[in-house]
Amino acid sequence: MACIDRASPALKQILLKLYRAEKSIEIDHHLYEFGSVEYHIQSQASNPLVAYLSLSIPPLCHGTLPNTLSSYTIEKIKGICPNLVEIEEPAREGFQLTLKLNLDHIPRNKDYVKVIEDISTIQSVILSSQLKEILWNVNSDDAVQGMYKPIKVVYHPREPFFVIRQPQKIIAIFPIRFKEKSDVIIATAFFQELVDVGNSDKWIKTPPCSWSAIPPPELRGEAFEDLNTNGGFVSFEISSRHVEGNRLDKTVWNLLNFNANVRYHVKSTKGFIHRRMRKRLENLVQVLHQTNSEENEQTKQVKKHQGCRYTKKLVKSSKHTMKQRWRTLGRKIKRIPFRLKIHGFTRFRQRWLRFPKFSSTKYTKLE
Amino acid sequence: MGSTLRLYLTCIRNTLHAAMCLQNFPCQEVERHNKPEVELKSSPELLLNPVVICRNEAEKCLIETSINSLRISLKVKQADELENILTKKFLRFLSMRAEAFQVLRRKPVQGYDISFLITNYHCEEMQKQKLIDFIVQFMEDIDKEISELKMSVNTRGRLVATEFLKQFI
């Protein structure tokens, strides 16, 4: 699923096409992706070794973060592929960031795919750094009775989630909403399994998660429209070990795409249920048709047996009558009186002038 | 649990065996028409007393008989909300494809999950004993299928949850 992969598949495909092209090609693409992201990729035939990538991405948290990218985010972008990527100042109109990609610096060996994939993860890098900034810039003035104010993070316009910073941990709370009741029930069954698995001994290193049908106490005081749900609330407790080193990016990306993961699971479960029902229908109908066909076959077999017996009777009777007729004919011929008496002819006639016997048991095939 | 199911199915089988004595009977109200009297219910003298066989509060079977047709309505057990939606989806799926079953009704009787309508023509085309076997087997298969679907959905959920949590390690 495109939104769950860190690298944008469409962007990766275009950059690979540009890199692998034998002749210089002109490219001017606009891409729109999940999370209200817009990409603009441009490359001219006159200068095939350079491509321009412009990016427009809304801030994760309106009011807390400015529309422009912070210096921390820019440092993170520069760290993607330092030799390859240069930030163009100023950015193109309508975009927050424009990158100049020097394609001749991409290695010619097998690593070029990985390099292009790293460039395609630019959206996830920006989002991760923005979320980190949100968490680091939480002011102590915002703390009320030891609890910090919840920060509303908007990755998808209709699916905001809350991040609450606490002294030893960070809690991420996801209000879940679905349009159909069946989706709510499938998602609730999934959350119960998630909580069971998360709380087992084998997965103790993962962030503890919980589900509740009512808003948790940390969200007290938030707007009613944000707390009005039909799928309950899922909470994750992120501690320091989940954000150490490389795990920070993974954790941030997983939290940003939790809602998308849940929806994808619900959709694929419904597809699975339909496939299974269709298969079961075929089996049930087959049983009914098999019953009918068994009945038809039984009646056919009874008729067939009756037919066989009749033909056998017919064959037997015809052989018998044939024999009888030959015998009578033979006798008649023998009784015919000859006017000319030839000495010894009677014996000749009896011996040689005989009709052949038909043997019913032996059959000689004529070739 | 298994013994109560056997008793329930045996009772239904015996009742169907007794009730499935159907013959052709033209409609008394409309000339040259032949309608299943159990659906019309316009002539009480052509209808037999309906029989309800209950396994428990959640599972029951209604058998309505008339001179030329028989209607069997089933209420399937639904222990929780997930079974409820799975049963609803599955039986609606089957009802929408009723022509494949010939004896299945497109809409269940109110208060029940699925209904069959057997007429004298079905009894002429198919063997009575095989029809009864099919209906009893259908009931067993539905229960089994719903349980398997529920288990599959939970297993899938568990696998997906495991894969999701693995990404945090």
A161 in Cβ contact with A173 (< 8 Å)? yes
**So what's the pLDDT on residue A284?**
82
Two tokens, residue A107:
């290695």
Instruction: Flag the least confident range among A203-207, A356-360, B48-52, B111-115.
Output: A356-360
Interval A50-102: pLDDT, tens: 888 888 887 766 655 556 777 888 888 888 877 888 888 888 888 888 888 88
Closest chain B residue to A289, measured at CA: B101
Confidence label for A211 from pLDDT (cuts 50, 70 and 90)? very high
pLDDT at A337 over 70: no
Kindly calculate the radius of gyration of chain B based on its CA atoms and give it in whole angstroms: 20
How far is the alpha carbon of A258 from chain B, nearest alpha carbon, in Å? 9
**So what's the pLDDT on residue A291?**
63
Instruction: Flag the least confident range among A23-37, A248-262, A302-316, B127-141.
Output: A302-316
- Mutation for B interface: A128, A230, A280, most B CBs within 10 A: A280
Q: What pairs with residue A209 in β-bridges?
A: A236
B-chain residues near A185 (CB < 8 A) = 81-82, 84-85
Instruction: Flag the least confident range among A65-79, B2-16, B53-67, B126-140.
Output: A65-79
CA–CA separation, A240 and B75 (whole Å) = 53
CA–CA separation, A177 and A262 (whole Å) = 11
**So what's the pLDDT on residue A1?**
44
Nearest CB to A242 within list B145, B161, B168: B168
**So what's the pLDDT on residue A367?**
52
Interval B53-106: pLDDT, tens: 999 888 999 999 999 999 999 999 888 999 999 999 999 999 999 998 889 999
Give me the mean pLDDT over the A294-316 stretch: 57
3-state SS string over chain A? CCCCCCCCHHHHHHHHHHHHCCCCCCEEEEEEECCCEEEEEEEECCEEEEEEEEEECCCCCECCECCCCCHHHHHHHHCCCCCCEEECCCCCCCCCEEEEEEHHHCCCCCCHHHHHHHHHCHHHHHHHHHHHHHHHCCCHHHCECCECCCEEEEEECCEEEEEEECCCCEEEEEECCCCCHHHHHHHHHHHHHHHHHHCCHHHCCCCCEEEECCCCHHHCCCCHHHHCCCCCEEEEEECHHHHCCCHHHHHHHHHHCHHHHHHHHHHHHHHHHHHHHHHHHHHHHHHHHHHHHHHHHHHHHHHHHHHHHHHHHHHHHHHHHHHHHHHHHHHHHHHCCCCCCCCCHHHHHHHHCCCCCCCCCCCCCCC
Do the chains contact at A273 and B160, CB–CB below 8 Å? no
- Mutation for A interface: B78, B83, B84, B85, most A CBs within 10 A: B85
Do the chains contact at A194 and B157, CB–CB below 8 Å? yes
Interface pTM, i.e. ipTM: 0.87
Closest chain B residue to A255, measured at CA: B168
**So what's the pLDDT on residue A2?**
42
Do the chains contact at A295 and B137, CB–CB below 8 Å? no
Nearest CB to B153 within list A181, A189, A194: A189
Do the chains contact at B164 and A261, CB–CB below 8 Å? yes
Closest chain B residue to A251, measured at CA: B168
pLDDT at A339 over 80: no
**So what's the pLDDT on residue A271?**
95
Is the pLDDT higher at A246 or at B154?
Answer: B154
Total Cβ atoms within 10 A of residue B86: 26
**So what's the pLDDT on residue A21?**
81
**So what's the pLDDT on residue A297?**
65
Is the pLDDT higher at B86 or at A46?
Answer: B86
Give me the mean pLDDT over the A39-59 stretch: 85
A160 in Cβ contact with A232 (< 8 Å)? no
Rank A74-78, A225-229, A346-350, B46-50 by mean pLDDT and report only the highest: B46-50
Say how many CA atoms lie within 13 Å of B134 toward its Cβ.
25
Say how many CA atoms lie within 13 Å of A112 toward its Cβ.
16
CA–CA separation, B61 and B12 (whole Å) = 8
Is the pLDDT higher at A359 or at A270?
Answer: A270
Percent of chain A topping pLDDT 70: 75
Do the chains contact at B164 and A205, CB–CB below 8 Å? no
Name the average pLDDT for chain B: 91
Two tokens, residue A254:
């997983």
pTM value surpassing 0.80: no
Do the chains contact at B161 and A182, CB–CB below 8 Å? no
How far is the alpha carbon of B14 from chain A, nearest alpha carbon, in Å? 20
Confidence label for A120 from pLDDT (cuts 50, 70 and 90)? confident
B-chain residues near A188 (CB < 8 A) = 81
**So what's the pLDDT on residue A292?**
62
pLDDT at B39 over 90: yes
Give me the mean pLDDT over the A288-307 stretch: 61
Name the average pLDDT for chain A: 78
Cβ within 8 Å of residue A283, ≥6 positions away: none
**So what's the pLDDT on residue B1?**
57
Q: Which residue reads 């100049």 in tokens?
A: A100
pLDDT at B38 over 90: yes
Give me the mean pLDDT over the A146-164 stretch: 78
Specify the DSSP element, H or E, that contains B4: helix B2-19
**So what's the pLDDT on residue A313?**
55
A-chain residues near B162 (CB < 8 A) = 197, 203
* Residue ranges of chain A whose CB lies within 8 Å of a chain B CB: 181-182, 185-186, 188-190, 192-194, 196-198, 203, 205-207, 242, 247, 250-251, 254, 261, 265, 269, 272-274, 276-278, 280-281, 284-285, 287-288, 291-292, 295
A-chain residues near B158 (CB < 8 A) = 193, 196-197
Confidence label for A140 from pLDDT (cuts 50, 70 and 90)? very low
